[in-house]
Structure 1
Amino acid sequence: MKSAPKPASWAYAEDFVAESEAAAEARAASGPLGVTPIGRGGASTLTFLASVLHAKAVVEIGTGSGVSGLALFAGMAPDGILTSVDIEADHQRVARKAFLSVGIPTQRFRLIAGAALNVLPRLSDGAYDLVFIDADKVEYPAYVEQGVRLLRAGGVLAVDNALRSDRVADPNDEDDEVLAVRDALGMVSDDEQLRPVLLPVGDGLLVAVKL
């Protein structure tokens, strides 16, 4: 049995794909906003997924400072549209600036300020290539339910913080956020219309294709 990679190897893998200047600036801007963006390894994974899917329609739950949005745009089709939902309009103003800084025209993104569980039900069933979740952890099960509904066959669900700082794997940890993330993972694992894989990237990235 092979041993797990050492911390130096994990760090090497996380930083294997160079981060753009715009992404680094958006990451730096996340601190004052009080948000934690997806890690560099997770961001490069999002770019990879969007590229493989030739994604034209993407939903992002949790805009943050625009780090994940930039990663998604980097892999999306040139005419692809990102619909990003965040309860904080201030976050979206920062993300908008990040998107414009790399020449993404305003017609390629819809930034919707509001509670995700109020916004998502208004989006069309089966109309999206990729749904990325990185918002209120307690609401992860509900986000997953909505995400699966929104995806087309062959579309991909991606859920960040799936390991929750190594806490999800600890059966004795019954924090509300940990329990919610664990429930969301169970929903994905048990759903026969999904084929999942849990990637040990950053804080854990759960990825599932809709069959």
Structure 2
Amino acid sequence: MYCEEFVPEDDVLLRARDRAAELGCPAIRPGAGAALRVLAAALSARSVVEVGTGTGVASLWLLRGMPADGVLTTIDVEVEHQRAAKAAFAEAGLAPTRTRTIPGRASDVLPRLTDGAYDLVLVAADKHGYPEYVEQALRLLRPGGVLAVDGALHHDRVADPARRDELTTVVREVGRSLRTDDRVVPALLPSGDGLLLAVRR
């Protein structure tokens, strides 16, 4: 699709994507990554949380949109994935102070982060945990901050009411919940595998 190739990925991103394939972990698609970079730049996002580091593909897109003094806090239960992400950060020439990698379960880490202190939160981890992660993200965001949920179309299954498997249902309900939540202004972009956005009022 043209929009997925509109902003091409460089060698650092491509290598991080290759590592994701080798480790069998999902990576955000280029179109959604480019959208995240634009969001981070538009917000001048200095404090960002990422749920699901993977091998650093989405992290790199976010960091490239953030100001030079911005810090990305990224959480993943898989230490091996974070090790691969750190290699990507080093290849990109990022100072170690730009990232804070926290190994562990997001359900354990997110409650320890400061309320209302973040400009952007990306949820891109285990979809079973999306309802909890989204609720925690709304607590973390400042007014005007943005929640981004990757995989919101779940391989185009969410839009098909006949699809009722567990994961599709979970992701669909997250979208429905945000659509009717008075705390946010939501939108769903078709970039990547669907990027659900919500601005905190």
Same fold (TM over 0.5): yes
Is residue 83 of structure 2 the alignment partner of residue 93 of structure 1?
yes
**3-state secondary structure, aligned to 1:201:** coil
Instruction: Select 2:164's aligned residue among 150, 174, 192.
Output: 174
Structure 1 counterpart of 2:5, one-letter code: D
Q: Which runs of 5+ in 2 are unaligned?
A: none
Q: Which runs of 4+ in 1 moved over 2 A?
A: none
5 Å-filtered alignment, 1:37-186, equals 37-186=27-176
Structure 2 partner of 1:5: none
Structure 2 partner of 1:202: 192
**Root-mean-square deviation (CA), in Å?**
0.7
Structure 2 partner of 1:6: none
Structure 2 counterpart of 1:86, one-letter code: D
Task: Assess if the C-alpha contact under 8 Å between 1:56 and 1:80 holds in 2.
Answer: yes
TM-score by length of 2: 0.98
Alpha-carbon distance in structure 1 between the residues aligned to 2:133 and 2:167: 14
Deviations 1:56-98 (A, max 9, x none): 0000000001000000000001000000000100000000010
Task: Assess if the C-alpha contact under 8 Å between 1:141 and 1:187 holds in 2.
Answer: no
Deviation at 1:18, TM superposition (A): 1.5
Alpha-carbon distance in structure 2 between the residues aligned to 1:13 and 1:46: 14
5 Å-filtered alignment, 1:23-38, equals 23-38=13-28
Deviations 1:112-168 (A, max 9, x none): 110100000000000000000111111111111001000000100000000001111
Structure 2 counterpart of 1:20, one-letter code: D
Deviates more, 1:78-87 or 1:176-185: 176-185
* Percent of aligned positions that are identical: 50
